[in-house]
Amino acid sequence: MFNAKPAAMRSLSVTGIAMDPGTLEGLGHYLRRRVAYRGVFAADEPSEESMRSDCVVLYPDGLPLRSAQRLARRLISCPTVSLVIIVTALPAAERQTLVGSRSASNCLIFLPIPAWPWTVFATIESSLPGRYRAASQLC
Is the distance from CB of 136 to CB of 7 less than 8 angstroms? yes
Give the Cα separation of 104 and 114 in Å (integer).
Answer: 28
pLDDT digits (tens, 9 = 90+) for 4-46: 444 433 478 899 998 888 999 999 999 998 899 998 887 645 6
User: What domains appear along the chain, each with residue ranges and CATH number?
Assistant: 11-137 (3.40.50.2300)
Alpha helices by DSSP H, 6-135: 21-31, 48-51, 65-77, 92-99, 117-127
pTM for the structure as a whole: 0.77
Cα pseudo-dihedral 56, 61, 62, 66, rounded to 10: 80
Is residue 63 left, alpha or beta, with left meaning phi > 0 and alpha meaning psi from -120 to 50? beta
pLDDT digits (tens, 9 = 90+) for 45-97: 566 666 778 899 999 888 887 888 888 888 888 888 888 899 988 767 666 66
